Structure formats: C-alpha cells, structure tokens
Structure 1
Amino acid sequence: MSPNAVIPSHRKPRRSASSRALRAGVTGGIITLAVTGASMPASAAEKPVSETQEMPTITSALATSLAKSADTAQQMALDYERQAAQDTATAQATEAATKAKDEADKKAAAEKKAEEARQAEEKAKEKEKAEQQRASRSSERTSLRSLAATSDDSPVTGATGSTSSLVGFLRAQLGKSYVLGASGPSAYDCSSLVQAAYRTIGIDLPRTSQPQSTAGTQVDLGNLQVGDILYWGSAGSAYHVGVYVGNGNFIGAQNSSTGIVEKPLSYSQPTGAVRVL
C-alpha cells in the first residue's frame, strides 16, 4: 500500500448542531428549529420585489407583434379619418345639390310667372288690336256707304253705296279675258278680279283664292248678300272665287273660254261664301 493512500475513517460523520437540536427537541416533545449559517441583513429582507425582479427580455417576435399592433392602430385611425372626410364631403355635396335644386325651382317658377305675364300681355294687345281693326273697318264701311253710287244699267237689289260701287266695277269688266296670273286691267283671273273689285272700295284682300275663302265671316248660301265672296272647294283651299251681285247671280272670271261673265248660281253652284262687308 502506498504510504500516501487514504485510509477511510470508520467514524460516523458529525451531525450538525442544528440536527442535534432538532432531534433533541423532538425527543423532549418540543420542536425547536435552529438555523445555522450566516445571518441575512435586515435591509435585504425588506427590499421591494419591484427592485429585485428582472425585466422581461424583448425578443424579435415580441417586437414584431408590437409593431404590427401599432400599424393596425394607425391604419384604423386613418380609416376612421378617411370615412369622416367622406361623410363630410357627402353631406356638403347633398347640401349643395339641395340648394342648387331650390334655386333652380325658384328660377323656373319666376320664368313661368314671367312667361304667363308676357302671354297675358300679348293676348291683351291682340284683343286691343282686333277691336281697333273692327272699329276701323266699321268706320271704313260707314265712309264707303256715303260715296256716290256708280251708275248701272240695272238696279241691284239690297245694294248699298259701297256694294253698288263694287258691283259697278265688276260689271264694267264683263267680256274681258280670263288669263291665269293676270291682274288687269285688260285681263284677270278669278282671284285677281275679286281683289281688284274690293280695292275700289278701299278693302285689300289676299291675292289668291285660298286665303280669300277665309277672309271674312262664313255665311250660309241661303242667306247671301250683295258683295259676298263665293268660293268653290273647301274654305282655306278653294280653287275658284266670284262675287255675288244679287238677284241670284254672281260675276267671276270663269275660265279662258268664257272670260269674265255674270251667271246665275245654278250655272255653277258654289261651295260656300264669306262676308267681308
């Protein structure tokens, strides 16, 4: 055996004082705790936990999560702000449209009122003009009746001074030629003869038969008076005209074969008549 070899001791290990005290206390029926070792300073025992606990370590995953949360919160704030701006713009647009509509309605109402006033004024002017024309025509008829009657070979039943002048002119044209488009004095067509006859008593008529057939008041053929304009065809589209001269006769520029003639109504029954005098 080596001189340096360690020979294990056969002695039992020494129990600590605390172990002996605990055993002694248990044996005697009293538990006594004895704590050995270095004593803990009072200041260390009373130190707050907040000063002793360690801060959690911020890992990369935690940082990423926090960043995402911040981005989400910022995006929500931006969305709320954008929505608020859109709501404000919509409300302003609605208010502007309502205001524009109200103004348009007011303008339309004002224009309608002005147009109604203008039409009423025009109607009043037309009515006044028509009354003046009727008064003027009545005055002309009165003055024409005072003119001396033109001499005639035969009397005209129911003729006044103006109608006598009218019939006198027409009878002076008997035998003259009918030429379409002619206006006298040597030749006439049907409407130019009627126009020339009425011009001698101061009344201007349209040149053609169509407007002449509506130039006066429509009268029944059974109630004719001297000077009434006879027409053939429908009123407004007549194709021929003549003048009733009384005693059941009319004078007209009939056609190129007969020229200007005086004939009974039965010779060519007219469609209607208008009264100008």
Structure 2
Amino acid sequence: MSHTAHIRSHRKPRRSASTIAMRAGVASGVLGTLAVAAAAGTANAAEPVTQTLELPVLTGDLAAQVAQSAQATQQAAANYQLHAERDAAAAAAAKEAKKDLAHAKAEATKKAEAARKAAAERATRAAERTTLSTTASSNNVTSASTSTSTSTATGSAAAVLAFVKAQVGDAYVSGGTGPNSWDCSGLVQTAFKQVGIDLPRVSQDQSTAGTQVSLDNLQPGDILYWGSAGSAYHVAVYVGDGMFVGAQNPSTGVAEKPLSYDPPTGAVRVL
C-alpha cells in the first residue's frame, strides 16, 4: 500500500455522462420554462401598454369634440338670446310708435276741428254782418244811437260799464271767464255779477235774460246780441254814445267799438 493512499485527493470526482446529461436537461427545462414565462409576461405586459398608448388619443379627441359641441351650444344660446332681445325691443318700439301715431292723429283731428269751427264762426259772423248792415241802414240805427249818445249811466249801470271798460285790452279766449282773458258771454256774465245779477253763462241764454228793447232806445248797461234771440252767437255791453264793449275775437281781444263796426241784432235790459 502506498504511503499516500490514506490522503484524500483534492481532485473533483469525475461526473458520469448520464449525470451531465440529466443536469443539462434540467437546465434546458428551467431555461425553457423561464423563456415561456418571460414570453407570457411580455405578452401580458404588451396588451396594457398598447391600451395605455391608445386611450389618451381617443380621450383627447373626445374631449375636443365635447368642448366644440359645448361651445357651439353656448353660441347658439347666445344668438337665440340676442334675437329674442332684438325682437322684444322691436316690438316695444313698434308699440310706442303706434301709440305716438294715435296721439298725433288725435291732436291733429282736434286742431282741425277747432280750426273748422273757428272758420265756420267767422263765416257766420261775416254773413250776419252783411245782412245786419243792410237792416241797420234801413232802420236808421245810426240815428238811434245818436239819440242815446247823451244818456248817462248811473247806479248799477255805471258799475257794469266801469267793469267792462277796465277789461279793454284783455285777451279773447274761448271759454274764458277772467281775470285776464274772456270770451264774450264770460265778460258779460262777470260784469253783471258786480251788481248782484246772475246771468246765464252762454250767449244764447243771455239774449233772452231780460226785457227785449229796441235798438233805437238803447241805454247804457243794455246787453247787445248778434243772431236771433235765444240762439245768439255773440253778446256785448252797450256803454252809451253809440259805443259797446265786448270780447270780440282772438285778434282784437276785449275792445270798445262803435255800433257801426258790427251792428247788433237786438238788445235786452236787465237793470
């Protein structure tokens, strides 16, 4: 026996071919399993990655479409509101214009009617004056007035005359009853109120308020009228000396005139 036989050899024992083959197979199996697992893991990981890459693109497009749709809706709503406001403003303007037109028409009609009445009154007075001038000439009104020219007013008549003469120069206004503007019957009525006599308001009634007197027997304070008794269209107060005071028309106002200026139709005496 060798003196070194008891010493363990440091050399690795040789592996048998079968052992090596088995280990190679195991290694191959392990590697194959790892490869399959890796491939499966790669496949499983690839699908979420693909979805993650595509979803933002789809979500971005959808958001843009939603934003555009919302913007279009807001614009349509704004346009609708604008049209509604314009329509409301146009309707209000049309209503106001219609109201103004109706008012203007009413005013124009009122003025036209007033002008027509004034023209008719002037025409009537002109016709009456023409007729009365002829009548006055035939009845010698002038000489009649001369016969009363020396009469002197006293008492209540003097107060009436003083009042009407004090208003000479005031304006003529239809319906006026003083103190600075008058119509013919308003002046006569107020003059006689100074002496406690209440006369009717209008010319027609004043022409029958007292005793009818002849034009050739006039006295200061008598009421002169133009037109027929009961339907007279003008009155004034006789102040003596062939003169009268009356609220004539808008052109002359309250004035003192001779009987020949506008010969009256008749007269009444209330004093």
TM-score (norm: length of structure 1): 0.44
* Structure number with bigger Rg: 1
Q: Which has the higher contact order (CA 8 A, sep 6+)?
A: 2
